[in-house]
A and B are shown apart, each in its own frame.
Chain A
Amino acid sequence: MTDAILFWFLALVTVCAGLSVILMSNPIYSALSLAMTMVGVSALFVTLGAYFIAGVQLIVYAGAVMVLFVMVLMLFDLKHEIQAFTRGKITGAIKIASVGILAGLVVGAITLGTKAIEAAKATEAVAGKTYDNNTMSLAQNLFLQNVFGFEALGVLLLVIAVGTVALSRSRGGTHARD
């Protein structure tokens, strides 16, 4: 009963914060709402028993990435936006409709597929390997089975760091002709 209350509370917080991300016309509010969403998602990870991931979520997203966003916003010194949303009523309607239909379809797919998932879970639990939901098993998996991907990510981050510096130093952005 406790975890149910916790889940519903966190779901409410996350969805409200997510809605304000896309509805706030001032980007600073959007950023703050996004940080709130991150925290909510992190708490949801805790309810799922993924403690390490929850911590990383807090540090990387709520910490580093959000700081990056806020810093950039501060750099731009943006005011309240007059036109936050795209123009064009027809396309806007199509977009909203498509998003709504997508959400409905996905939810429908989930409810339809739940039975299959339950069945799969039953067979998996019989044949499945033992899985201690702790940080050590995560680390073992990451550094034994997925060490190549891990190293590749390191290289990717290095490339991104260099690329970001190069992009930021260029004058005129994508329209650079001068």
Chain B
Amino acid sequence: MSHQALIAILLLSPFVGFLLNGLRYRSQNYVLAGSIATGAVFVSFICSVMLMMDLIAAPADQRRLTANFFEWIAVGGFKVNAGFVVDQISSIMILIITGVGSLIHLFSIGYMHHDKGVTKYFAYLNLFVFNMLILVLGDSLLTMFVGWEGVGLCSYLLIGFWFSDAAKAAAGMKAFITNRVGDAAFIIGMFILFFSFGTLNMYELNALAPTTVEASWLGAATLGTLMLFIGATGKSAQVPLYVWLPDAMAGPTPVSALIHAATMVTAGVYMIVRLNPMFVAAPNTMMIVAIVGAITAVMAATIGLTQYDIKKILAYSTVSQLGYMFLAVGVGAFGAGMMHLMTHAFFKALMFLGSGSVIHAMEGEQDTRLMGGLKKYLPITHFTFLMGWLAIIGFPLFSGFFSKDEILWQSFASPRGSVFLWVAGAIGATLTAFYMTRLMALTFWGKSRVPKEVHPHESPVIMTIPLIVLAILSVVGGFIGVPHLIGEYLGHIPNYWAEWLAPVIKTLPEAAAPHTATQEWALMTTSVTLALISAFVAYRIYTSGKGTNEAIAKAFGPVYNVVNNKYFVDEAYFGGIINPLVKQSQNLWMYIDVNFIDKTTHVISDMTKGAGSLARSFQTGNMQQYAMYIGLGVVVVLTFVLMR
């Protein structure tokens, strides 16, 4: 089969699934709806695998399959094709999206079977996959933006899926509006790039990227990429636009797993990797990216320390891990960023689905204070969750270890890295280990605090199979990108990941400072040791079963309060931006709209009404009078003709 056809099937299969389910959205047949949706995504997965094999078979410098379906926009010199491309970067993304996506669809059948809107849910989910595929496959920024907006829409629809709950509907709107802020910047970035380089096609942009790095802040590449990055902070939940993601947990848990952990939120990282030559040419932007990533990683991790809602903890963890990815791409370690994107997709999807399983078992309860000791009720969930936990805290030889360690090392060793970034990353890793262990301890270990009337039970097979598959991936997923240093001790495993991505990743122009293997070992050992110690401490604290929460709160006093309230960021946004805006809008309404615009229109309408009532007196409804008008008209015309 030609790759055009494969790409077409890959794209259209979820869309067909969306149509099939969307047209019968009232149906409550969850088996049929789930089968259609899962099947559609699975077909896409098969296409992705076939495309991947085609790519592997091709020579390293020709690994790019394109499909131009039609010319979408052609206005003067501005041309955009509905073109899609599978190359080294997007092939990884489509495998993650469709692979993890089909597992999550499968899980959803079990998780959502009692819901009344199950068919609508699956329709939205398929539409999301379709848009996500457009996002990653589009060969121009504009095509990408279509998917970018599409996934935003689906995210909104799915966060507010239970829209009869006002808080959940509000969470959906918050996500949508916050994303709007970023999207505006994204559009501006597109304008700047098009204005300067005359194209939006990403390959052409990459080819046109300046070869010498831009030192100025006002260069086209710097400004353009900076704007695109601001767009990415919205979509990928980075400081300062991360506030929507924790609230987005109002949606169904599989949605959180698919959209708000594995795929959509990584779109920003993907976009940067996609345009890496452009970003490499703009070191100032990259510096911002790295700093924002580092701040996000630490800040979100600290907030995660104080949360009790199982999904909120995972949400802040996601924000933090996304911060790592941005840290990686910010220091030029694009490969490491993509690697962490993939491993994170595995273990975070696993943990979200695991939390879904727990919530399912707890009959909707999300508060970890009412859990504990679930290990014996949910053996499979616990075991798979354990794998995810080991992966995320960076336990050696688990997938998260390889990717996170590579990021930390690069943030130190890269010419654009610095020791401060490494310290931030290491602190983040330590905190991550702490709050994830805390989550494990509160949920699965220690004494049971489960209310009497709740009887936890293991989830059905349809929900545990995705967990098991994802657990396996979380464990072994890292081995395709083993760093050279460690690979030597594991029987000289080559770093497939770096080789695969090498043709599309631009190396930094600056010469790397020489670093010794000793340094690398030292840093790695330090960070892993810190993480393990903090995990052990957390284990000790939270399994001891004493009134520890209050004790900790008292011990840290005001600091705890600030962190617990998420640094008052939401409040600051409300006080600093939203409320003044509302106030000003009210003023505009009162003074400009009511006094000026309304009055003008009233005067005009009064004049019209006056003229109308004048003309109205002719319309007596008396037909003979109308006939008289006709007669008079004839008289006038005839007189005029004769007097000429």
Contacts and interface: CB of A to CB of B under 8 A. Distances in A.
In the complex, A touching B, CB below 8 Å? yes
A105 B635 contact: yes
Nearest to B632: A98
A106 B638 contact: yes
A91 B627 CA distance: 12
B628 A98 contact: yes
Given A108-B642, A109-B642, A112-B642, A101 B628 contact: no
Given A91-B625, A94-B628, A102 B634 contact: yes
B642 A99 contact: no
A102 B628 contact: no
Contacts of B625: 91
Interface in A106-120: 106, 108-109, 112
B460 interface: no
Contacts, number: 28
Contact size class for A?
10 to 19
A86 B635 CA distance: 21
Interface in A89-104: 91, 94-95, 98-99, 101-102
Contacts of B638: 102, 105-106, 109
Interface string B604-644: 00000000000000000000110010011011001101100
Contact size class for B?
10 to 19
A155 to B, nearest CB: 28
Nearest to A94: B628
Contacts of B642: 105, 108-109, 112
A83 to B, nearest CB: 14
A105 B639 contact: yes
B55 to A, nearest CB: 73
Given A108-B642, A109-B642, A112-B642, A101 B624 contact: no
Contacts of B632: 94, 98
A112 to B, nearest CB: 7
Contacts of A101: 635
Nearest to B628: A95
Nearest to B638: A105
Contacts of A86: 624
Contacts of A98: 628, 631-632, 635
B631 A102 contact: yes
Contacts of B624: 86, 95
Contacts of A106: 638
Nearest to B629: A98
Nearest to A99: B631
A101 B634 CA distance: 10
Contacts of A99: 631
A95 B632 CA distance: 8
A84 to B, nearest CB: 13
A105 B632 CA distance: 12
A99 B639 CA distance: 13
B628 to A, nearest CB: 5
Interface string B504-521: 000000000000000000
A91 B628 CA distance: 9
Nearest to B639: A105
A10 B634 CA distance: 29
Interface of B: 624-625, 628, 631-632, 634-635, 638-639, 641-642
21 contacts: A86-B624, A91-B625, A91-B628, A95-B624, A98-B628, A98-B631, A98-B632, A99-B631, A101-B635, A102-B634, A102-B635, A102-B638, A105-B638, A105-B639, A105-B642, A106-B638, A108-B642, A109-B638, A109-B641, A109-B642, A112-B642
Nearest first, the 3 closest Cβ-Cβ pairs linking A and B are A105-B638, A98-B631, A101-B635
